Structure 1
Amino acid sequence: MTLEQLRIFLAVAERQHVTRAAEVLGLTQSAVSAAISALEARHGVRLFDRVGRRIVLTEAGTAFMAEARAVLDRAETAEMVLEDLAREPRGRLRLHASQTVASYWLPPRLVALRDLHPGIELRLTVGNTTQVADAVAEGAADIGLVEGEVAHGGLHLQVVARDRLVLVMAADHPWAGLTEAPLAQLAACPWVLREPGSGTRSAFEHWLAGQGLSVADLPETLDLPSNEAVLSAVAASRRLAALSLRAVETAAAAGRIRSLPLPGAERPFSLLTDPRRHRTRAMQALIGLLAG
């Protein structure tokens, strides 16, 4: 079994398609098929079933995916350790960040890192807070950046910035001319919320609890998976939302929405690392920039 065979297996397994995997890998379809066949023959196990022109993972193939991914993650870590022997920080950094952090806070800092250390290759994946923490804990990410509470107790958490939620409404909403949010009326209004698992949703639920409320107390809610989706829904309706101040600044400046402060709705932006993993010079350079 070789690392190349594992890479090919994962590419096919993730796409359930030999041709598409071959295109991504820059290989011929016959080379990909041969690698899968050799892997199956060497270990006497069928990883895929051929169903007409399609292929689907077998039960054995599904079980093997997690192990194959873990081996490749460890191989990539070993490669980064070797690359880290150079004086200048270099090598790959796999970053996973929650949407608000990735869209509004992180980009200028990544530009600054590349300007300082052009030998560092950055790979950014965006997800919600739960997905980011899982990626760091499972070794799929070197560094995570989130704005919500983290359930993985084995991770090291470092606060690197502060943020706050604001109440968001359409520019022609009846409350648009107010200077303070009418907190006593919030439970009587329909809402658009970020999806469960997002840092924004977690922070809003925590803030609601401080008001003696929960999401279940809101009369009508709609869950959407991104800040922009929530903003679009709010701008076209009488619904309310709670989003990061950073996420609404552009829409507010354009006159699409209005926002009001939510008292006490502050939250941290936190950097996540796994203390069991080697901290490369590239990681140290980024952490120093973000925490500085």
Structure 2
Amino acid sequence: MTFEQLVIFIATAEREHLTKAAQALHLTPSAVSASIKALETFYAVKLFDRVGRGIQLTREGKVLLKEARETLARVKETQAVLAELGNLKTGTLDVQASQTIANYWLPSRLLGFSADYPGIHVNLTIGNTATVAAAVINGDAELGFIEGALDEPLLSTTTITSDKLVVVCKAGTEQPKDELASLKWIMREQGSGTRSVLEQALKELSVDPATLDVRFVLPSNEALLTAVLQGGCVTALSRMIVAPFIENGQLRVLDVDLPPRRFTLLRHKERHRTAVAREFEAYCHVHA
């Protein structure tokens, strides 16, 4: 089994689709199919069942996927150790961040870090607080950035900077503060830092989040923003996101005093942290 065959198998198994795996790996579907077939033939084991027009992992395939992922992780660790020997001249850093940080806070830091270390490649994946924490725990990301606090014994948490949530509505609509529980709300999904911080803040204002009239739950800040600009509903978003729309008169901030929230850096307490990760963490503190 070659390293390339291992990578092709994992990509195919995760997507359960030859063409999608080929696209992700920049290969042809025939090359992916041939690699899988070669594995099955050489080891006399069936890895996928052809079900209709798709494919599914066999029991043997599921066993191999677990082993293959662990092998690939060990290879990445070896590559990371070698990269450290080059004094940050080369290397890769896997980072995951929740949406507000990834879209509005991290980009300038990534650009600055890349300018200082042009040989370092940073992979940024966007999720929510729950998925980012899971990625750091599982080793899919060395560093995670979330909005708000997190109580997870496996993770070390460090405050990088702070942010301010504001409750906004379309300009020209009346949304009195003393009727928060009766307003039509648009919320982020459960697991997002924005939602958890908002719900905690509402409790401190003696408003039970369970009593809110939540009309829609949307998976991104951009979706919330677009929906609120249509009028009729309110939502809570970072001031960084809504500032341009407040300045041009499209949105209005309600008189709701929400406490600041933390931007928090996550890293695993027990996993080895590469020199690249240590350097980027220090860079974020300096340029917070």
Fold shared per TM-score above 0.5? yes
Residue 269 of structure 1 aligns with which residue?
A: 263
Moved more, 166-175 or 95-104: 166-175
Q: Report the TM-score, using the length of structure 1 for normalisation.
A: 0.90
**Cα 1:215/1:281, change in 2 over 3 Å:** same
Counterpart AA for 1:247: I
Among 259, 262, 265, the alignment partner of 2:253 is 259
1:1-292 alignment, distance < 5 Å? 1-62=1-62, 64-175=64-175, 182-260=176-254, 262-292=256-286
**Cα 1:41/1:231, change in 2 over 3 Å:** same
Counterpart AA for 1:95: V
Q: For residue 229 of structure 1, report the CA deviation from its aligned partner.
A: 0.8
Q: Report the TM-score, using the length of structure 2 for normalisation.
A: 0.91
- 2:168 touches 2:236 (CA, 8 Å); kept in 1? yes
Q: For residue 64 of structure 1, report the CA deviation from its aligned partner.
A: 4.1
**Cα 1:256/1:59, change in 2 over 3 Å:** farther
**Cα 1:247/1:62, change in 2 over 3 Å:** farther
Cα separation, 2, equivalents of 1:56 and 1:225: 28
Cα separation, 1, equivalents of 2:255 and 2:53: 56
Counterpart AA for 1:38: A
**Cα 1:255/1:190, change in 2 over 3 Å:** same
Superposed CA RMSD: 2.0
Q: For residue 212 of structure 1, report the CA deviation from its aligned partner.
A: 2.4
Moved more, 14-23 or 72-81: 14-23
SS at match of 1:106: helix
Cα separation, 1, equivalents of 2:244 and 2:217: 22
Q: For residue 151 of structure 1, report the CA deviation from its aligned partner.
A: 4.3
Counterpart AA for 2:87: R
- 2:80 touches 2:274 (CA, 8 Å); kept in 1? yes
**Cα 1:36/1:244, change in 2 over 3 Å:** same
Percent sequence identity is 43
Q: For residue 59 of structure 1, report the CA deviation from its aligned partner.
A: 4.1
Q: For residue 68 of structure 1, report the CA deviation from its aligned partner.
A: 2.5
Counterpart AA for 2:159: V
- 1:165 touches 1:261 (CA, 8 Å); kept in 2? no
Q: Deviations over 1:155-192 (max 9, x none)?
A: 111100101110110012124xxxxxx44210111101
Unaligned segments of structure 2, at least 5 residues: none
Counterpart AA for 1:286: F
Q: For residue 41 of structure 1, report the CA deviation from its aligned partner.
A: 4.2
SS at match of 1:262: coil
